[in-house]
A and B are shown apart, each in its own frame.
Chain A
């Protein structure tokens, strides 16, 4: 299988952020978005294709985790936190 291209990595990044914004719990949602941004930024200069593929595989696994946890969060949802503002965008 060909190594992951820049476009594929970006697609994965967008998919992960999109999915993370659907997490119901404020603290999990903010953590996921922040961590994904920081992790992709930190690894943006990795050149070794083996290393890139390892990171991409890990990211795909994490995307699976986020998807499942989004579902679970929706099933067991509760009230919002005092600082969650309904009108503001979900950060």
Chain B
């Protein structure tokens, strides 16, 4: 929160300083301030402000929070935002038919990525809505002893991969429904709903280089999994999710899934190499760094490191030229350390020192090297200022200290 307030102050100072733009009707987007729309080509009549100089954007190393749109995805979506604007549920004209065709093509693309049948894919507004639909199934259960197991495929904070196939096997043999939130896993590791005996799966668009505001829920047909609709209305999506399907967004999700299927192996190899580089270079230059999460069952693109004797938030603020996070975005407003780290038994003080590095399809070696360099520099600097670090250097065991009350 302190970080955002400081960022906003910097943003106000900069937007006051930018001058008029050149001829062509371009839209130079600068730092966004709280309530303001992006600056237009026409300069506002602001009072003369001191020249701030060119502002350079930070590197983006927070892909678990969200991913940039792949240019191939944007290219697929644009026609549906310009000319092909029909409602896919309009049955009586070409605008509707072409929109419906695009929607069904997207459905096939999503299904193909996870080994499902297109009839088993329901479009939603995101993985959160998909999770809610899947969990609500519990309340719509026919038999009193039916239950549901819900597991995250790849954890968004520490990158740990759960043994999905094994869990699926157990659930199937005990006749228990198996749901997985695959938001961080879809398109990154191979998933097959039949091999892994998954009954319900949540998919998020903006985690796989697709647009925000769209997702899907996979609902098995054989054997039939019954779900109750969260949202009632016109009966779209087989009655499981009423509301006009947003064609441009689902086209984007479909394109993202298709690209992911083609690029999965290439991306995985590259990301693994970059992750190895990041971890090795940090660990060989800094002592007392712990990687959180099981290193054997781990998705390489999500690296969570704890730097002992350094406070996580202060390290994040020091690394102002790199966009990073300490723990999940959905809980970043609170000051509580990560519940995930607490659950894996991380010490309280190490949990407060954790930073999550995200490596994605578009991350470069230069960005990794820059991040590593800055990280080492600032951890060393912050440790120099830390009395705890000084005590450790003097050989004092911190656990033996009896802290007095004042």
CB of B335 within 8 A of chain A? no
The count of residues in chain B whose C-beta lies closer than 8 Å to any C-beta of chain A is 26
Residues of A within 8 A of B26 (CB): 74-77
Are B56 and A79 in contact, CB atoms less than 8 angstroms apart?
A: yes
Are B370 and A68 in contact, CB atoms less than 8 angstroms apart?
A: no
The count of residues in chain A whose C-beta lies closer than 8 Å to any C-beta of chain B is 26
CB of A3 within 8 A of chain B? no
Residue in contact with A66 in the complex, picked from B30, B59, B71, CB distance below 8 Å? B71
**How near does chain A come to B60, taking the closest CB pair, in angstroms?**
7
Q: Which residue of A lies closest to B370 (CB)?
A: A83
Are B361 and A31 in contact, CB atoms less than 8 angstroms apart?
A: yes
CB of A51 within 8 A of chain B? no
CB of B5 within 8 A of chain A? no
Q: Which of B99-120 contact A (CB under 8 A)?
A: none
CB of A78 within 8 A of chain B? yes
Residues of B within 8 A of A38 (CB): 266
Are B71 and A76 in contact, CB atoms less than 8 angstroms apart?
A: no
In the complex the two chains form, what is the Cα distance from A30 to B270 in whole Å? 13
Counting chain A CB atoms within 10 Å of each CB, which of B71, B72, B362 scores highest?
B71
Beyond A28-B71, A65-B72, whether A81 also contacts B59 by CB under 8 A is: yes
Beyond A27-B364, A68-B75, whether A79 also contacts B370 by CB under 8 A is: no
Q: Which residue of B lies closest to A30 (CB)?
A: B364
Residue in contact with B58 in the complex, picked from A27, A35, A82, CB distance below 8 Å? A82
Are B362 and A27 in contact, CB atoms less than 8 angstroms apart?
A: yes
CB of B74 within 8 A of chain A? yes
Q: Which residue of B lies closest to A70 (CB)?
A: B71
Are B71 and A65 in contact, CB atoms less than 8 angstroms apart?
A: yes
CB of B313 within 8 A of chain A? no
Are A82 and B59 in contact, CB atoms less than 8 angstroms apart?
A: yes
Beyond A69-B75, A83-B59, whether A76 also contacts B370 by CB under 8 A is: no
Are B27 and A75 in contact, CB atoms less than 8 angstroms apart?
A: yes
Q: Which of B2-55 contact A (CB under 8 A)?
A: 26-30, 54-55
Are A78 and B29 in contact, CB atoms less than 8 angstroms apart?
A: yes
Residues of A within 8 A of B342 (CB): none
**How near does chain B come to A75, taking the closest CB pair, in angstroms?**
5
CB of B145 within 8 A of chain A? no
Residue in contact with A81 in the complex, picked from B30, B57, B68, B361, CB distance below 8 Å? B57
Are A69 and B59 in contact, CB atoms less than 8 angstroms apart?
A: no
In the complex the two chains form, what is the Cα distance from A23 to B321 in whole Å? 22
Are B58 and A72 in contact, CB atoms less than 8 angstroms apart?
A: no
Residues of A within 8 A of B364 (CB): 26-27, 30
Residue in contact with A83 in the complex, picked from B54, B71, B72, B367, CB distance below 8 Å? B367
CB of B366 within 8 A of chain A? yes
**How near does chain A come to B383, taking the closest CB pair, in angstroms?**
24
Q: Which residue of B lies closest to A80 (CB)?
A: B56
Q: Which of A25-47 contact B (CB under 8 A)?
A: 26-28, 30-32, 35, 38
List, sorted by A's number, 25 A–B pairs whose CB atoms are closer than 8 Å.
A26-B364, A27-B68, A27-B362, A27-B363, A27-B364, A28-B68, A28-B71, A28-B362, A31-B362, A35-B266, A65-B72, A65-B75, A69-B74, A72-B74, A74-B26, A76-B27, A78-B28, A78-B29, A78-B30, A79-B30, A79-B57, A80-B57, A81-B58, A82-B370, A83-B59
| A-B CB proximity, top 4 nearest | A27-B362, A69-B71, A82-B56, A82-B321
